[in-house]
Structure 1
Amino acid sequence: MPSSPRPVSPRWKGLLAALSLAMAGFIWLSGLVDSLSRPSVAPALSLQQQELTLLAEPAVPSSLREALLGESPRDALLKALEGISSEDRSERQQRMLLLLQGQTPASADRESEPEDPLLQQLLCEVSASDPGLCIDGAAAGQAALRLAFSTVLPLVTALIGGLLLIGQAWRLVRGRLMAWPAVQGPDLTLIDMALLVAGGFVVISAVGVPLVAFPLVGALTAGLASPRREAVGVVINYGVMALPSLLILWRQLRALPKQSAPPSGWMQWRLRPLLSALLDAVAGWLMVTPLVMLTGWLLVRLVGDPGGSNPLLELVLGSHDPIALGLLALTAVVLAPLFEETIFRGALLPVLAARLGPLAGVLLSGLLFAMAHISVGELAPLTVLGVGLGLVRLRSGRLWPSVLMHGLWNAVTFLNLLLL
């Protein structure tokens, strides 16, 4: 990091940074409290996984059913549906509950559910003398494949990641870890970062822009049907909300002396070699996966499900429109990693690491990254993910591997939601 002296910031700049920090703290704190009232997607995910398990049961060898599916997928699904209050139970869930209880819903027939293989199977079983004749082998096979990807693949990923972590710990104890490159990044101050993150990312983007942009976007997308309307709104709103922070960062970098910039530029993108960036991203994703899973498991065990899931997850779960899903995937897999890594690992982390030390910089940038998502339920797991992204940034000495790792994480999460 260049150590050339920076001129003393004007008093107004310091006051503006302090005001931005105070407002951002209030916005984040109130947002975290409000997130407690938002529903969690965990129950919906669990219920859909139980439905998938029951549908896949005939395609799983009998010797493996108990190990892979549990003792009785039918009883587990029945218990889950009975645990939902009648007011919150959808019409489909109510029909499924009656069928699992051996009752036939009014005016029920298999032709009424042409795209719901599980309901078709249950409707057939109620009246069939041999339930085995009701099994759709193709649907069961597809369900088993989806179930394998959504449950077995994360476990395999966590196992491989755990072995890699053990290997890294062993190298650390033996003193065989390769030395990391020197931290390079924009020669900005902590006041600059307060203006960028607190002022631009939080106050302007999360409060000021929505007051103007959201009504305009709503008017532009009013003619579209749901969920395509919501998906188009997500893409446009996200792009508009990213602009203030990017413009502030562009202005800050433009004010720096060009002769002080590192050879690879202030942001250290360094797209090539692409293969090593991809390998760093995959290794980071593998090693952070078991830690995030463990953090989420401990959180549920200690305090239960705190709720407050990202609303984007609900849109993905409730959408069957290919265009809507494509737009949501674009936001989650491309736009979000590019923007968030530029701010948190491209600008913020190097500045914090240069002034507070690499470890403190990684931890603080990871925490701020998690808080920016304004979800109590995701705060701890996202902090761990942010720390992992920061370590990949420092270890690789460039930003591109962190962007790829972030995109890979979001892509796998998005794929799991689609599979369920």
Structure 2
Amino acid sequence: MTSPPIGRIASFKGFLAVLSLLLAVTVWVVGLMDSLSRPSVAPALSLQQQEMALLAGPALPEPVRPLLVGADPAQVLLESLQEIPLDRLDDRQRLLLASLETDAEQQRRLLAAPLGGAGLNPLQRALAEDSDRTSLSAAERRLLEVAPADPLLRQVSCLALGGTAQECEQPAVARSTARRLLLAELLPLLALLLGVGLLLRHLWMLWRGDLPRWPRLQGLPLSLIDMVLLVAGGFVVLGEVLLPLVVSPLTSWITRDLRGPLSQAAAVLVGYSALALPPLLIIKQQLGGLDRREAPEGGWLQWRLQPVGQGLLQGGRAWLMVMPPVAFTGWLMGRLLGDQGGSNPLLELVLRSRDGWALALLATTAVLLAPLFEEMVFRGVLLPVLGRSIGRGWSVFLSALIFAVAHLSIGELPPLLVLGLGLGLLRLSSGRLFPCVVMHAFWNGATFLNLILLA
């Protein structure tokens, strides 16, 4: 006797789910292992911050200068550059290190190799030709009146060639850099302090029993097999592996006439859109098979946009409250295991980009598309379905773990797990998906803004 059509369909779905799960686990394991060889953005951020400290020092008020830039920012930057192997120093870093270096022999060694002179200003070329100088020539003093492209190299090469602090200072640059450094340092600190206060208040109210009861979790009538097909099949196999191969020629055609940073940003936008398309189509198909008359108030995904103000407040407050535990987790992992690398390549693109249109495209991807898509998958569909099968607590943990693993970075996995837990708890406590998107957008937006300030 042949199986009924429904039985054959169920068997086929089960086979696809098992195959997708095996392929997804393979992709995730390989991706996580590869992340160990990917560079971390942390060293680049640290160097950027130290360079800003050296430039901003003269413009900072005396009382706060030691707190923001330390006692000797030049020495801190020198020591950081000395830790980089010589064969990994680019021309700029080599000139920077040579200008800060006090050991004459080491300075000559740094300047012995040919430099790419096309990118050097006259002061830097003079340093490369003759570093044993005690004063600036009249011609070089006149050159100082024209600001070159790299203010920090101008300053340190001027001092290295014998210029005085007054000759080499750049008041306008120092003031501008000081403002950016203050924002980059103080905004995260203020957010952390506010987050600690809100978190302590929340825990106090929880202990007193003053928090409102959580609304009933509205789970979609889908199976765990449907979730495997969505996450493993749609998100990983189709979105991360197969569709990028198809879209790659289209991406090359779209970006063929664009400049470097803009081309990379456009490729990121197109690539992320391609990644999101298969899971979104699967969600559309899965929701289309449900009886709309049985949908709860607010729809199956529980977007519940109204009231908008309350949703924004819930998302913003949750973002502040999750910052302290995420920051502590990242700090603890760094202390225990060191820098594991594997940073999201998008962070490096933002840090290095100087193109406004490129930054706009990267911001669209990170602050708009990523929160919308990821929250729809992980907190809109996956968490409620898991909640029906394994309970609220385990659904929050498992959805957060899958969310963290899907980013394919061992170094960032623990902080992302904590962030995912916060997003899951917000989904349960608010009964809405909209605040989760807001919280996620705040998180990505704050990271993006901090990179822009340090760039």
TM band (smaller chain): over 0.9
Residue 202 (structure 1) aligned with residue 236 (structure 2): yes
Distance 1:275 1:126, change over 3 A: same
Q: Which string of whole-angstrom CA distances, capped at 9 and with x for unpartnered residues, describes residues 161-199 of structure 1?
A: 111111111111111111111111422111111110111
Whether the 8 Å contact between 2:124 and 2:153 is mirrored in structure 1 is no
Q: 1:10 offset after TM fit, Å?
A: 1.2
Whether the 8 Å contact between 1:171 and 1:177 is mirrored in structure 2 is yes
Q: Which string of whole-angstrom CA distances, capped at 9 and with x for unpartnered residues, describes residues 82-133 of structure 1?
A: 1111111111111111111266853356568623222222233234553134
Q: Which string of whole-angstrom CA distances, capped at 9 and with x for unpartnered residues, describes residues 14-66 of structure 1?
A: 22212211111111011000111111111100000000111111112223222
TM-score norm. by structure 1 comes to 0.95
1:76 is aligned to: 76
Which residue of 269, 278, 281 corresponds with 1:235? 269
- Secondary structure of the residue that 1:10 maps to in structure 2? helix
After TM superposition, the structure 1 = structure 2 runs for residues 294-309 of structure 1, keeping only pairs within 5 Å, are: 294-309=328-343
Q: Percent identity?
A: 52
Separation (CA, whole Å) in 2 of partners of 1:177 and 1:403: 23
Q: 1:394 offset after TM fit, Å?
A: 1.3
User: Partner amino acid for 1:106?
Assistant: R
Which residue of 223, 227, 249 corresponds with 1:189? 223
After TM superposition, the structure 1 = structure 2 runs for residues 20-419 of structure 1, keeping only pairs within 5 Å, are: 20-101=20-101, 105-107=124-126, 114-127=148-161, 130-419=164-453
Separation (CA, whole Å) in 2 of partners of 1:192 and 1:244: 14
Separation (CA, whole Å) in 2 of partners of 1:94 and 1:296: 31
Aligned pair count reads: 414
Whether the 8 Å contact between 1:291 and 1:384 is mirrored in structure 2 is yes
- Secondary structure of the residue that 2:259 maps to in structure 1? coil
Separation (CA, whole Å) in 2 of partners of 1:282 and 1:332: 17
Distance 1:129 1:13, change over 3 A: closer
**Which blocks of at least 5 consecutive residues in structure 1 are unaligned?**
1-6
User: Partner amino acid for 2:239?
Assistant: S
User: Partner amino acid for 2:101?
Assistant: Q
Separation (CA, whole Å) in 2 of partners of 1:246 and 1:294: 34
2:115 is aligned to: none
- Secondary structure of the residue that 1:246 maps to in structure 2? helix
Larger mean CA deviation between 99-108 and 224-233 belongs to 99-108
Separation (CA, whole Å) in 2 of partners of 1:279 and 1:138: 38
Separation (CA, whole Å) in 2 of partners of 1:71 and 1:178: 50
Whether the 8 Å contact between 2:238 and 2:278 is mirrored in structure 1 is yes
Larger mean CA deviation between 93-102 and 124-133 belongs to 124-133
- Secondary structure of the residue that 1:125 maps to in structure 2? helix
Q: Which string of whole-angstrom CA distances, capped at 9 and with x for unpartnered residues, describes residues 140-180 of structure 1?
A: 12111111111221111111111111111111111111111
Distance 1:113 1:89, change over 3 A: farther
Whether the 8 Å contact between 1:99 and 1:105 is mirrored in structure 2 is no
Q: RMSD of aligned C-alpha atoms? A: 1.7
Q: 1:322 offset after TM fit, Å?
A: 0.8
TM-score norm. by structure 2 comes to 0.88
Separation (CA, whole Å) in 2 of partners of 1:90 and 1:152: 31
Whether the 8 Å contact between 2:124 and 2:154 is mirrored in structure 1 is no
User: Partner amino acid for 2:38?
Assistant: R
Separation (CA, whole Å) in 1 of partners of 2:164 and 2:251: 55
Whether the 8 Å contact between 2:404 and 2:417 is mirrored in structure 1 is yes
User: Partner amino acid for 2:67?
Assistant: A
User: Partner amino acid for 1:68?
Assistant: L
User: Partner amino acid for 1:107?
Assistant: A
Q: Which string of whole-angstrom CA distances, capped at 9 and with x for unpartnered residues, describes residues 212-253 of structure 1?
A: 111331233222220111111111111122111000010000
Q: Which string of whole-angstrom CA distances, capped at 9 and with x for unpartnered residues, describes residues 255-296 of structure 1?
A: 011121012100111111111001001101101111111111
**Which blocks of at least 5 consecutive residues in structure 2 are unaligned?**
1-5, 108-122, 128-139
- Secondary structure of the residue that 2:260 maps to in structure 1? coil
Separation (CA, whole Å) in 2 of partners of 1:223 and 1:341: 34
